[in-house]
Amino acid sequence: MALRPQARAAAIDARAYGLDQARVDEGLRQHMLRIYNYMATGLAISGLVSWVIANTAIQGLFFQVTPEGRLGFTTLGMIGMLAPLGMLLAAMFFLRNMSATANQAFYWTFVTLQGIGLSILLMTYTSESVVRVFLITAAAFAGLSLFGYTTKRNLTGLGQFLLMGLIGLIVAMVVNMFFPSSMLVFIISVVGVLIFAGLIAFDTQRLKNEYIGGLVQGGDSATIHAVWGALSLYISFINLFQFLLMFLGNRE
């Protein structure tokens, strides 16, 4: 499970800032489209990298069969698996103060490395179930993001609740590593789906409100905001996909 940047949301009306609603709406559509394009391209890159690793000879660089007959990571695979987490932790302290080009380079590197971790899913689950669950995830994402974009309800409280739930989910996953339980795995997968489904709606509203509230300026500011917005939605999409696959996917 990938971590995600923290964020806040608030219900904002463009008219409260004395802004022309039609002009704001058009700029907002362009801004959100840019975020979705970054996210979709990131998913495509991660998918391509994971497919190449899972289906070509370079698989041996990242994975090996353990003495127990299970699929495990090599040293290089483990580095690649943990690298995105390390990048996120570092980015929370340093990247927001860097240039738009640095932010873009970070994002493309992150989604590429994320493909290493995702490749094990292609080797664990059947191709049919991976495709089926991906389509389910994409449809769910579209509906949840549309809800977050159009709802008049303030989702700020939901975001705070989901953040606490995410912390609890991480703790449960760590406990399951040391005390494996099939029932706990099922509970983790269900809770994970609910948490990241909520975060998709919450983040969409947050990104919309930040634009209306004037937090997004032109030039580098717009690029940096789009990159970070795409990263938040990308991480939620990937985690929603993984948790759905845990109880809807068919293993090889």
What tokens were used for 2? 């990938």
* Nearest alpha-carbon partner for 5 in 250, 164, 203, 186: 203
Specify whether the CB–CB gap between 5 and 231 falls below 8 A.
Answer: yes
What does the pLDDT read at residue 10? 43
Contacts of 142 (CB under 8 A, 6+ apart): none
251 pLDDT tier (thresholds 50, 70, 90): confident
* Nearest alpha-carbon partner for 9 in 203, 147, 144: 203
What tokens were used for 168? 């609890």
Residue 54 clears pLDDT 60, i.e. is over it: yes
Q: How distant, in Å, are the alpha carbons of 33, 54, 56, 80 from that of 63?
A: 37, 9, 12, 11
What does the pLDDT read at residue 80? 86
* DSSP H or E run through 126: none
Share of the chain above pLDDT 70, in %: 88
Selected residue with higher pLDDT from 189 and 21: 189
The DSSP-derived string for 31-84 is: HHHHHHHHHHHHHHHHHHHHHHHHHSTTHHHHEEE-TTS-EEE-HHHHHHHHHH
Please state, in angstroms and rounded to a whole number, the distance separating the CA atoms of residues 28 and 210: 10
Average pLDDT of the chain is: 85
Alpha-helical runs (H) found in the chain? 21-55, 59-62, 75-94, 100-124, 127-150, 156-178, 182-212, 220-248
What does the pLDDT read at residue 17? 47
Contacts of 101 (CB under 8 A, 6+ apart): none
Residue 31 clears pLDDT 60, i.e. is over it: yes
Span 210-220, pLDDT tens digits: 888 776 766 78
Report the range of poorest mean pLDDT among 34-43, 90-99, 199-208: 90-99
Please state, in angstroms and rounded to a whole number, the distance separating the CA atoms of residues 242 and 237: 9
In this prediction the pTM is 0.87
Contacts of 127 (CB under 8 A, 6+ apart): none
What does the pLDDT read at residue 159? 82
